[in-house]
Structure formats: C-alpha cells, structure tokens
C-alpha cells in the first residue's frame, strides 16, 4: 500500500477557483467495485487515534480565532463524512469541504480503474483569504501531508 505523490487533476481549478495550494496523493487498491463515496468513507469516516488527537488540538487552538471546528451547517450540505460536508458526488468523484473566513478548502476523492486495481486519489485544494489563512496553511502543511497519506492507507486495507 504505497502512497504516491501525483499531480492534481487538470480540472482542479474548477473545483475551487483561485486556489493557491493544491496537492494530490494516490494509492492502488484491489477493491474492484470501490466507488468514490466508499473510498471517502474509508478515508474520512474515522481516522487513527493520533489524527483525532491532532484534530482536537487544532480545534482547541483555533477556537479563539473564531475558526470553524466542525462541519458547518450553513453550507446546505445534507450529507457529511466525518467532519466534511459533501459538496458534490458521482460514482468516480466525491468533493467535500467548506468555506471559512480564513480559507476555503476542498478535498476531492477520485477513483479510477487501472488494470485489475482501482486507484484512489485524494486532492486537497485551498484558497486563503487573509494573513490568518496563509499562516494557518503554513503551520498545518507538514501535518497535512502525513495525515493524507495515513488516511489513504486506510482505503487500501
């Protein structure tokens, strides 16, 4: 279950116009019938304990700044995976995320057939709005890379 760094999809800018940050990671799985919703549920539905602890610390630290600490209600999303409201979904792609005062973000889960395997790609897109968003992004990036790789490994197991 080797997680690879890949290029974000060509249409990533359409998913969050003006995004200043994007990255993508991919893993192969032998679950031939896996769709994007199932892959997103494996990734985002429940993470390892160390990720839950990091998220709890993050929520504690950002609360004084008025940043969102859970899935927001105002997005109109009636469907949520973990803490992420679903923006759109098809069998091959699920887009989740929300907008906040410091930044907007999307996590995109794509599945594609590659021979007998299914490749699952997680793309993160971020559009910052102010110094707080840029600072927040710079602080969380090292953790983000570890977290996404770990979550993708859950898809392959």
pTM: 0.86
- Contact (Cβ atoms closer than 8 angstroms) between residue 119 and residue 111: yes
pLDDT at 1: 63
- Overall average pLDDT of the 72-86 stretch: 70
Local confidence band at 30 (pLDDT 50, 70, 90 cut-offs): confident
Local confidence band at 75 (pLDDT 50, 70, 90 cut-offs): very low
Q: Which is it for the CA torsion 39, 107, 94, 8, positive or negative? A: negative
Angle at 12 between CA 7 and CA 15, to 5 degrees: 155
Spatial CA neighbour of 108 closest among 31, 24, 41, 33: 24
pLDDT of residue 98 exceeding 70: yes
- Overall average pLDDT of the 16-29 stretch: 94
């Amino acid at each position: 279950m080797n997680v690879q760094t890949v290029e974000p999809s060509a249409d990533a800018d359409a998913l969050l116009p003006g995004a200043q940050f994007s990255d993508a990671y991919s893993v192969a799985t032998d679950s031939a019938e896996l769709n994007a919703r199932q892959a997103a549920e494996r990734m985002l539905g429940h993470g390892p304990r160390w990720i839950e602890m990091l998220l709890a610390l993050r929520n504690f630290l950002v609360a004084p700044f008025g940043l969102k600490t859970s899935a927001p209600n105002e997005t109109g999303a009636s469907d949520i995976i973990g803490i992420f409201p679903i923006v759109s979904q098809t069998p091959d792609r699920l887009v989740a995320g929300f907008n906040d005062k410091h930044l907007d973000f999307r996590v995109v889960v794509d599945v594609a057939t590659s021979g007998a395997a299914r490749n699952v790609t997680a793309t993160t897109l971020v559009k910052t709005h102010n110094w707080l968003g840029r600072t927040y992004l710079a602080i969380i990036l090292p953790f983000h890379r570890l977290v996404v790789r770990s979550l993708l490994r859950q898809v392959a197991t």
